């Protein structure tokens, strides 16, 4: 009888030690910071508009950047931030950035085609995100993005 009580007490003690190592009640909750890509204000408007429309395809992105977490590359090392997140996946953010830029400048007179199935666009824009480098400093953070963009005349 006493051996069963000692075994039960020992198992309960081990269980408490294991659980206490997994749970830290004293640490504060760190809320994630959500980031987006801001449009800079328009400096001037175009005098001549293109009398066509355009379809902007979803950008392609490297697999290591295909996450909602902020990734900083330092040479061959990648650092993923758990509490610094993109509002949308990076490829969607950059695609939306380009679409918003075309919309704000009102470049294409016939507008931007949302889906290729509804209408035949005059042009198709396709982009690849080649690199995305974040530079941190005490004063400000900078982002350098290298993108390859292809513009095709659409013929059906």
Domains of the chain: 32-153 (3.40.50.10610)
Q: What is the band of 60 on the pLDDT scale with cuts at 50, 70, 90?
A: very high
**Does pTM surpass 0.75?**
no
Q: What is the band of 77 on the pLDDT scale with cuts at 50, 70, 90?
A: confident
Q: Which residue has the higher pLDDT, 119 or 44?
A: 119
CA gap 101, 39 in Å, rounded: 8
Q: What is the pLDDT of residue 16?
A: 65
Contacts of 56 (CB under 8 A, 6+ apart): 95, 98, 99, 102, 112, 125
β-partners of residue 129 are: 61, 147
Nearest to 117 by CA among 73, 47, 55: 55
CA gap 124, 153 in Å, rounded: 6
Burial 46-65 (b: 16+ CB within 10 A, else e): eeeeeeebbbbeebebeeeb
Calculate the average pLDDT of the chain.
80
Question: What is the number of other CB atoms lying within 10 angstroms of the CB of residue 131?
Answer: 11
Span 33-57, average pLDDT: 82
Reported as a single tens digit per residue, the pLDDT across 102-122 is 888 888 888 888 777 777 888
Q: What is the pLDDT of residue 148?
A: 92
Does the pLDDT of residue 86 top 80, yes or no? yes
Nearest to 59 by CA among 142, 143, 124: 124
Nearest to 68 by CA among 100, 41, 44, 92: 92
Question: Residue 19, class by beta-carbon neighbours within 10 Å (0-12 exposed, 13-18 middle, 19+ buried)?
Answer: exposed
Does the pLDDT of residue 20 top 70, yes or no? no
Span 97-104, average pLDDT: 86
Hunting for tokens 């001549």 — which residue is that?
A: 48
Span 56-80, average pLDDT: 79
Q: Which residue has the higher pLDDT, 43 or 57?
A: 57
CA gap 90, 112 in Å, rounded: 21
């Amino acid at each position: 009888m006493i051996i069963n009580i000692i075994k039960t007490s020992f198992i309960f003690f081990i269980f408490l030690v294991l659980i206490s190592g997994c749970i830290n009640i004293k640490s504060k909750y760190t809320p994630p910071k959500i980031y987006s890509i801001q449009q800079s204000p328009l400096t001037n408007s175009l005098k001549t508009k293109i009398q066509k429309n355009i379809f902007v395809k979803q950008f392609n992105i490297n697999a290591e950047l295909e996450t909602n977490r902020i990734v900083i590359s330092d040479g061959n090392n990648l650092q993923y931030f758990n509490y610094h997140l993109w509002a949308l996946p990076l490829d969607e953010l950059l695609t939306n950035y380009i679409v918003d830029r075309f919309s704000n400048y009102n470049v294409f007179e016939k507008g931007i085609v949302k889906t290729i199935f509804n209408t035949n666009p005059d042009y198709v824009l396709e982009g690849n995100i080649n690199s995305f480098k974040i530079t941190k400093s005490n004063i400000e953070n900078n982002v350098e993005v290298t993108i390859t963009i292809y513009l095709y005349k659409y013929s059906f």
